[in-house]
Amino acid sequence: MNYRGRFAPSPTGLLHFGSLVAAVGSWLCARHAGGQWLLRVDDIDPPREVAGSAQSILAALPAFGLVADAPPLYQSQRQAAHQEAFDRLRAAGLVFPCWCSRAQLAEAGGFHRDGHCLAQPQADRPPAWRLRAPDLAVAFDDALQGRQQQNLRDEAGDFVIRRVEGLHAYHLACVVDDAFQGITEVVRGTDLLDSTARQIWLQRCLSLPTPTYLHLPLALDAHGRKLSKSERAHPVDPADPVPALRRALAFLDVQTSATARTPEALLKAALDGFEPARLPHLAARPA
């Protein structure tokens, strides 16, 4: 099978160091495999979106030498496909409407279990829709983090696939669009490691293929917190790409040329001798 990888930023701010690491890591794995590297813009959450950030992220990537093999896929244009997947889950009886509030669930231990709602149906308010989480252990071998296993009922609970506002949730859109783009390996940060079992379960429910997964160490700020676009932390400057690209490669323990002066030359040198298995087998490290 031909390798197809992707980078899937959410347009919630400028490209920052943490997302540059994910972009570089996924690009290196795809190029190392002689495969394709695709882009997806995860713009399915208008309330969280920052105007202009999709364009600025997409414009920044080539400045760092990261050029995709196809035009980006915008999730906002995939709503019909997300709806179709939702309808199939609903027709199969796998989802249920839910009016439970966060506070109610927090009181009950944080998880929604066994399709059992604490709130009564409310005719005047639309529900969220949850996928029932079976008492089943979903396991997978992460190419970097090793064997992972999660009991869906106990560790994830019935999870939202369509929000109260009528928006399809990330997990649903992600698996539908990974399949649509023919993604064979998902390379992303360990902040999403915990989401993977749910995504694999959704793939099974929808008869979609399961890609392989490689979760890169997460970049932490000085306080040990995830660098987050929404906190506008650590933007990287596409007008001066070489220093940030060097830092991203060093963060991933990837050797490169000490003398290269362009992003393209740095990446070319980084690919020589690149071996995905030698990426740091860490969940997180300081940026």
| Residues contributing to the site for ligand GLU (CB under 6 A) | 8-10, 42, 174, 188, 192
User: Pick from 82, 123, 122, 78: which is nearest to 99 by CA?
Assistant: 122
Min dist. Cβ of residue 183 to ligand GLU (A) = 9
Complex with ligand GLU: residue 46 or 121, whichever CB lies closer? 46
Q: How far is the CB of 240 from ligand GLU (least distance, A)?
A: 23
Q: How far is the CB of 136 from ligand GLU (least distance, A)?
A: 22
Helix boundaries (H) for the chain: 17-32, 53-63, 79-91, 102-107, 170-180, 196-205, 241-251, 263-271
Shortest distance, position 199 Cβ to ligand GLU, whole Å: 8
| Identity of the residue numbered 143 | A
DSSP tag of 169: P
Cα-trace Rg, the chain: 20
Complex with ligand GLU: residue 10 or 210, whichever CB lies closer = 10
Q: How far is the CB of 90 from ligand GLU (least distance, A)?
A: 23
Considering the complex, state which of residue 45 and residue 158 has its C-beta at the smaller distance from ligand GLU. Answer: 45
Closer to ligand GLU by Cβ: residue 189 or 263 = 189
Q: How far apart are CA 15 and CA 158, in angstroms?
A: 32
Question: How many secondary structure helices (H) and strands (E) does the chain include?
Answer: 8, 12
Pairwise CA distance, residues 206 & 201, whole Å: 9
Comparing CB distances to ligand GLU, the nearer of 100 and 248 is 248
